[in-house]
Chain A
C-alpha cells in the first residue's frame, strides 16, 4: 500500500530498463518499495535492473520479457506483471519508448509505424489494461513518462515527439477520467536527460541526469501534481515555447 507521501510498496515498471525508470526505482526502493516487477525486452538488462532494485532495498523482484513493437503483447504483459506482484499494485511506471536518429529512418514508412507503435500504441494498450486493474483495486498510481518534446514537436524528431504528444494528451484525458476513483495518473515531462536513449544527441538547455528526474518524480508523488516537470523551470519555459511562431521555433528548436 502507498503511504501518505505516495511512496509505494509494490511497483510495476513497463520499460524497466529505461535509465530514468531505473533511477526512480532506486529512490522508491530506498524509501518503501518491497516488490518490483520489471517488464522489458532485453533479458540481460532486465536482470541487471532487478539486481540493482534489490541492492537498493527491494525484497523481491521479477522480470517479464515483452517487445513493445507488438501492441498485442501489452495486455498479456500487464497481466503477467500484476500476477508477479501477487497482491495490490501501488504504482505502475510506463517508461517504454524509442528515440533513435530520425534522419536515418524518416523515409521508411515501416519505421514510422514502429515509432508510433513503441512510443504510443503499445503504451496506450498497456495503460488501458492497467487502468481497469487499478480501478478494481480501488487505489493505485500511474506515472507516464512523456517529454517536454511532446509540448512542442521539433522537426528533427517529429516521429518520437509526435507519438509522445499523442500519448501525453491521451493521458491527460485518462487522468481526468480517474478523478474520485482512488486511482491517479501523473505525467512526467522531463527535458533533455543524459541516458542511453539520448547518447549521441546534442544536449539542450536545462539538461539533467536521470537521478535528478527521479528526485522531482518522488517529490511529485507527495504533491500529487498532475504533471511533473523536470526540471520544474521547464513548465514556464514551455508556456512560452508552445506559442512561438513557427518560423522562430524552427530556428530555436535546432539550437
Chain B
C-alpha cells in the first residue's frame, strides 16, 4: 500500500499502486476490479486516488512520436508537457494549451480538460486533441470528434472515469522563439482591471491577472495584469525551459503561511510590478510556469495542506467575482495567490469546467475554523450566478452542489454507463461527489 494525496496534500489515502506498461496489462487490471488512473498527481484534491483500491500509475506510458509538418504529434498518456517541450521547442513547436505547471501528463490534461492563459482565444486542451485511444472495461476505443464524439467529449473533462487514456494525438502551436513579449499593467482596484480585460484581452493571445485578496477597503482587489504573445524569431533557436533549481526539502510547519506572511507577500508582489511596461521579454518558463521553479512548493502549506478554490461565472455575472473577493477580504481568510482570467466559450464536453466568463482561483491553507462554511457560501454565490467550480481543484464540494453546477451530469453518466456498466472506474473524488453509481 502506498500513501497518496493530491497536490493540496489532502485528504490522504492508501492504495496499491501498479504501473502497467501495455494496453494488455491495463485490460487485465480493468477485468480484476475497481481502479483509478493517476499521472503526476497535480490535481489538487482526491481525483487521482482510490483509498483501499488499485491506482494505475500511467507515467510509464511516456513515449512521444515524431512531430509532423502540420504540428501534430502522438503521445503516450503518461508523457508530460515538460517532456514534450524538451523535444518540441527546439523544433519550433509549443503546446497549444498549458496550465500553470509543465508537470502534467497528457492523460491528466485531457481528464481535467485543462485551460491556460489563452483560453479566451484558443479554448481548452481537448479542443486541440485530434484523437485519443481509450481502454475501457468494454474494450478499446479510438475516438475523435468524428468517431464516437459522445465518448470523446465525455472523456474530455471526465476526470478519468470513462476509461484509461493511453494515447492522444495533439496539434501543437508553431512558435519562432522561446520568448514571450509581455505587457504589464497595475490597477488599484478590481473594477479597473476587469474593465481593462474586457476591453483589451482580444488583442493578446495570453492574459491573466493576479489579484490581491488581502488588501482591504478601497484597495480590495488591486491587481497586476500581464498579457502577451510569443515573440518573433530572434537571434537564437528556441530552447526548452530549464528545470527549476529551487526546492522545498521538508514539509513546513503549519502556520508558515499565515495572514501576516501572506499579506506581506501580496504587498511585495504588487509593489514589484511596474505600473505599465510594454513588450518586456520573458522566458516561456517564467511566464507560463513560474511555480515550477520551486519543486514541491505545496509543502510550504505545512502538514494540513491547502485547498484551491477555482470558480467560473458567466460574463454577465462579473459582479460575483467582486462579491467573492470582498467576502474573502472581510472574513480574514487570506489567499496566497488569487488568479483572475477571462474564458472564451466552453467546448462540448459535459463536465468540462470552462465557460465564457470570469474565472477566479484562490489558494487557501486548511485550518481556519471558518473556511469550510465560507467556501460553502461561495458555492451558493457561484450557483446563483450560473457558474461552477473546477473539479480538478476540488477537495470539498458537496454532491448536490456539483449536480447544480454541472447540469449535464446525467448526460455524462449515461455515456459513461455504456463503457463501464459495472462501475470499475472510480476515484475518491467520484465517490465523494457521487459522480458514478455507488
Residues of A within 8 A of B (CB): 1-7, 9, 31-32, 87-88, 136-139, 180-183, 219, 222-224
Instruction: Write out the residue numbers on chain B whose beta carbons fall within 8 Å of the beta carbon of A183.
Output: 14
Instruction: Write out the residue numbers on chain B whose beta carbons fall within 8 Å of the beta carbon of A136.
Output: 52
Instruction: Write out the residue numbers on chain A whose beta carbons fall within 8 Å of the beta carbon of B8.
Output: 4
Instruction: Write out the residue numbers on chain B whose beta carbons fall within 8 Å of the beta carbon of A139.
Output: 11-14, 51-52, 428
Check A138 against B53 for contact (C-beta < 8 Å). Answer: yes
Q: Given the known A-B contacts A4-B366, A223-B304, are A32 and B52 also in contact in the complex, defined by CB atoms under 8 Å?
A: no
Check B11 against A4 for contact (C-beta < 8 Å). Answer: yes
Bound CA–CA A181/B2 (angstroms): 8
Bound CA–CA A227/B315 (angstroms): 47
Bound CA–CA A137/B12 (angstroms): 12
Bound CA–CA A5/B369 (angstroms): 10
Check B372 against A222 for contact (C-beta < 8 Å). Answer: yes
Check B14 against A182 for contact (C-beta < 8 Å). Answer: yes
Residue among B12, B45, B307, B371 making CB contact with A182, cutoff 8 Å: B12
Bound CA–CA A231/B372 (angstroms): 21
Instruction: Write out the residue numbers on chain A whose beta carbons fall within 8 Å of the beta carbon of B51.
Output: 1, 88, 137-139, 182
Any chain A CB within 8 A of the CB of B347? Answer: no
Check A4 against B52 for contact (C-beta < 8 Å). Answer: no
B6-44 CB contacts (< 8 Å) to partner A: 8, 10-15
* Given A9-B432, A88-B431, A138-B1, 13 more pairs with CB closer than 8 A: A1-B432, A2-B11, A3-B11, A4-B307, A5-B366, A5-B396, A32-B398, A137-B51, A137-B52, A139-B52, A181-B3, A181-B14, A222-B304
Bound CA–CA A138/B16 (angstroms): 9
Q: Given the known A-B contacts A32-B398, A182-B14, A222-B372, are A1 and B366 also in contact in the complex, defined by CB atoms under 8 Å?
A: no
Instruction: Write out the residue numbers on chain A whose beta carbons fall within 8 Å of the beta carbon of B236.
Output: none
Bound CA–CA A156/B367 (angstroms): 38
Check B428 against A1 for contact (C-beta < 8 Å). Answer: yes
In the complex, 20 of the A-B residue pairs with CB atoms within 8 angstroms, ordered by the A residue number, are: A1-B428, A2-B11, A4-B11, A4-B366, A4-B395, A4-B396, A9-B432, A87-B431, A88-B52, A139-B11, A139-B12, A139-B52, A181-B1, A182-B1, A182-B3, A182-B13, A222-B369, A222-B372, A223-B254, A224-B303
Which 5 residue pairs are nearest across A and B when measured between Cβ atoms?
A138-B52, A4-B395, A139-B51, A182-B14, A138-B14
Check A1 against B398 for contact (C-beta < 8 Å). Answer: no
Instruction: Write out the residue numbers on chain A whose beta carbons fall within 8 Å of the beta carbon of B369.
Output: 219, 222
Residue of B with least CB distance to A140: B51
> Distance (Å) between the CB of A151 and the closest chain B CB?
24
> Distance (Å) between the CB of B437 and the closest chain A CB?
12
Any chain A CB within 8 A of the CB of B438? Answer: yes
Bound CA–CA A70/B230 (angstroms): 74
Q: Majority SS of interface residues in chain B?
A: loop
Residues of B within 8 A of A (CB): 1, 3, 8, 10-15, 45-46, 51-53, 254, 303-305, 307, 366-367, 369, 371-372, 395-398, 428, 431-432, 438
Residue of B with least CB distance to A134: B52
Check A4 against B431 for contact (C-beta < 8 Å). Answer: no
Instruction: Write out the residue numbers on chain A whose beta carbons fall within 8 Å of the beta carbon of B304.
Output: 222-224
Bound CA–CA A3/B13 (angstroms): 11
> Distance (Å) between the CB of B14 and the closest chain A CB?
4
Instruction: Write out the residue numbers on chain A whose beta carbons fall within 8 Å of the beta carbon of B53.
Output: 138
Bound CA–CA A2/B12 (angstroms): 10
Instruction: Write out the residue numbers on chain A whose beta carbons fall within 8 Å of the beta carbon of B305.
Output: 4
Instruction: Write out the residue numbers on chain B whose beta carbons fall within 8 Å of the beta carbon of A137.
Output: 51-52
Residue of B with least CB distance to A30: B373
Residue among B1, B11, B14, B303 making CB contact with A6, cutoff 8 Å: B11
> Distance (Å) between the CB of A135 and the closest chain B CB?
8
Check B52 against A222 for contact (C-beta < 8 Å). Answer: no
Check A222 against B11 for contact (C-beta < 8 Å). Answer: no
Residue of B with least CB distance to A219: B369
> Distance (Å) between the CB of B85 and the closest chain A CB?
31
Instruction: Write out the residue numbers on chain A whose beta carbons fall within 8 Å of the beta carbon of B45.
Output: 4
> Distance (Å) between the CB of B361 and the closest chain A CB?
15
Bound CA–CA A222/B304 (angstroms): 8
Bound CA–CA A21/B147 (angstroms): 55
Bound CA–CA A7/B45 (angstroms): 14
Instruction: Write out the residue numbers on chain B whose beta carbons fall within 8 Å of the beta carbon of A181.
Output: 1, 3, 14
Instruction: Write out the residue numbers on chain A whose beta carbons fall within 8 Å of the beta carbon of B438.
Output: 87
Check A4 against B13 for contact (C-beta < 8 Å). Answer: no
